[in-house]
Structure 1
Amino acid sequence: MKTISTLNGHDLAEAYQLELLCHVIPWSKQIFYSNQGESYLNLKICIDQQIVGFCICQTVADEANLFNIAIHPQFRQQGLAKDLLNELISRLMASNSPSTIWLEVRESNQAAIKLYHSLGFNEITIRKNYYPTATGDYENAIIMAFTLRL
């Protein structure tokens, strides 16, 4: 059974293992654990009570920033990231707080870019040489935004 709920402190060790599995250059444990708290709306998606994905979203003033999203490789291409993001958007809209969700995505991550476009995110600009790569080079980030309310 699939469920989406708040990522809480008890989930962090399991979620961090997913972070390590999903990203070529993962966040450090310190950074991952510090992106929690009152100004965050962090969600997890579970299949049969196993965390298979999460998103980390900070809300400040009238903006939300999607900092991180991960889906276990064995559970990709099943619409779980879309489900997770739709839930995040719904919760942010219900909160009547942020008016825009911002995110940065690697230029090479075409699957994610396609997903964000399908949800209504728009490309705003390019941040040159933003993401480090495994080879020691840098890759551009595409800045995208989703308007929750005008």
Structure 2
Amino acid sequence: MKTISTLTELDFDDAYAVEKLSHLIPWSEQTFRSNQGERYINKKVVLNNQLAGFLICQTVLDEATLFNVAIAPMYRKQGLATLLLENLLQELTTKNIKILWLEVRESNISAINLYHNLGFNEITIRKNYYPAKHGREDAIIMAYNISF
């Protein structure tokens, strides 16, 4: 059974474990724990009583920024990221958010395809934004217009 609900402080240890498994250069635990509060919409997806993934999104006025999405490697290719993002978009609509922004590594083709399939548009490139194994990597800035 799949459920999507709010990521709470009680979930942080499990969610941070997913973070470390999911990203080449994961956030620090301090950064991870600091991205919470009233301006955040943080979601988790649980599959068979196991935290399978999460997202972290911040809202400011009528805009939101998706900071992080991670699905544990063993749960990928099951549509869980799509479910999380669709759930987030529904909630942002109810909060009168007009646009959702995100940055994605140019090498993260599966994430870029996911965002395109959901209706995100590429806006610009942020050169040398992400640290990489060998140097730096560009970020693609994408946006989803919620208020059509």
Q: Where on the TM-score scale, by shorter chain, does this alignment land: which range?
A: over 0.9
**Aligned length, in residue pairs:** 148
By how many angstroms is 1:49 displaced? 1.7
1:92-127 CA-to-partner distances (Å, cap 9, x unmatched) read: 11122x210000000010100000000000000000
In the alignment, the residues of structure 1 paired with residue 70 and residue 129 of structure 2 have an alpha-carbon distance, to the nearest angstrom, of 19
Residue 143 (structure 2) aligned to one of 138, 142, 145: 145
Q: CA deviation at 1:134?
A: 2.1
Q: Supply the AA of the counterpart residue of 2:48.
A: D
Q: Which runs of 4+ in 1 moved over 3 A?
A: none
Residue 37 of structure 1 aligns to a residue whose secondary structure is: coil
Trace 1:1-150 onto structure 2 (pairs within 5 A): 1-96=1-96, 98-135=97-134, 137-150=135-148
Aligned partner of 1:148: which letter?
A: I
Q: TM-score, normalised by structure 1?
A: 0.97
Determine what percentage of the aligned residue pairs are the same residue.
59
Partner Cα separation in structure 1 for residue 37 and residue 70 of structure 2: 19
Unaligned runs of 5+ in 2: none
- Give the TM-score normalised by structure 2: 0.98
Q: Measure, in 1, the Cα distance between the counterparts of 2:50 and 2:116.
A: 28
CA-atom RMSD in angstroms: 0.7
- Residues 67-96 of structure 1: per-residue CA shift (max 9 Å, x gap): 000001111111110011000000111122
